């Protein structure tokens, strides 16, 4: 049995965030598929791993975690010597990286997740898209991306000159949105568009994509 286990679904943006991190760090792991359609994430044994009943849940030996961004930060610290360096071992630079991880979680993700749901996931399950929600959240996301466009004229990546967790955390929602009409919000901003092309072509992300087939 592998020491690292991820319980989740390859449809879940939060689970994909963890898979991308594990592949960047070149770590082996076991994927335990949770059948969300059957509600397995709301029942035992899953809710012993995450009482909030959301995927992913994570185990590394005795350590049990949930919340995808807490999991990626654990992996990046615990396995600092392996694979891609996703954090910065200098406190001021790390503080800036933390700022942009918070920006992703509290500015980018709320709007991006709603658009992923309305335009990416709902059509997959033949559910009807709520146009008012799309309009409201495209406007919110556009404002966030204006700030990213300015930031990315100064730096190649969102937290500085290197690819870090702050970039990685964005990838799953951007993956869904690039297959929807919200793609235009990224394409119309040249520096955002170049950043998207760069982070979406990382070999670790291509391995996450391969898990879906
Ligand atoms: N903040 C959590 C969010 C987890 C989350 O929303 N997971 C979704 C799938 S992406 C889920 O399990 N949804 C089912 C539900 O909430 O019932 C994280 O980053 O891990």
- Specify the residue for token string 């996931």: 121
Protein fold of 4-85: Glutaredoxin (3.40.30)
10 touches 176 (CB < 8 A): no
Taking the CA of residue 69 as reference, the ligand 1 atom at the shortest distance is 19
Could you tell me if the CB of 5 is within 6 A of ligand 1?
A: no
User: Which ranges constitute the DSSP H helices of the chain?
Assistant: 13-24, 46-49, 68-78, 91-103, 109-115, 131-154, 165-168, 171-177, 183-187, 190-200, 203-211
> How far is the centre of ligand 1, averaged over its atoms, from the C-alpha of 57 (Å)?
10
Could you tell me if the CB of 113 is within 6 A of ligand 1?
A: no
Q: pLDDT for 108-138, tens place per residue? A: 999 999 999 999 999 999 999 999 999 999 9
Rg of the chain over CA atoms, in angstroms? 17
Is this structure's pTM higher than 0.85?
A: yes
Could you tell me if the CB of 40 is within 6 A of ligand 1?
A: no
> How far is the centre of ligand 1, averaged over its atoms, from the C-alpha of 95 (Å)?
26
Q: pLDDT for 141-175, tens place per residue? A: 999 999 999 999 999 999 999 999 999 999 999 99
How is domain 91-205 classified at the architecture level of CATH?
Answer: Up-down Bundle (1.20)
Domain ranges of the chain: 4-85, 91-205
């Amino acid at each position: 049995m592998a020491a690292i286990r991820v319980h989740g679904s390859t449809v879940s943006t939060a689970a994909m965030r963890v898979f991308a991190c594990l592949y960047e760090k070149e770590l082996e792991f076991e994927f335990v598929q949770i059948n969300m359609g059957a509600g397995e994430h709301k029942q035992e044994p899953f809710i012993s791993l995450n009482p909030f009943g959301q995927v992913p849940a994570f185990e590394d030996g005795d350590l049990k975690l949930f919340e995808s961004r807490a999991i990626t930060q654990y992996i990046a610290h615990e396995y600092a010597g392996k694979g891609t360096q996703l954090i910065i071992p200098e406190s001021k630079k790390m503080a800036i990286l933390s700022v942009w991880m918070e920006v992703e979680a509290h500015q980018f993700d709320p709007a991006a997740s709603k658009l992923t749901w309305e335009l990416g996931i709902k059509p997959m399950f033949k559910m009807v898209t709520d146009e008012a929600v799309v309009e409201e959240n495209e406007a919110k996301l556009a404002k966030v991306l204006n700030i990213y466009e300015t930031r990315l004229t100064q730096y190649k990546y969102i937290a500085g000159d290197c690819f870090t967790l702050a970039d990685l955390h964005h990838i799953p929602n951007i993956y869904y949105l690039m297959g929807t009409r919200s793609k235009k919000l990224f394409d119309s901003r040249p520096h955002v568009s170049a950043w998207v092309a760069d982070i979406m072509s990382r070999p670790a992300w291509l391995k996450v994509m391969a898990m879906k087939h």
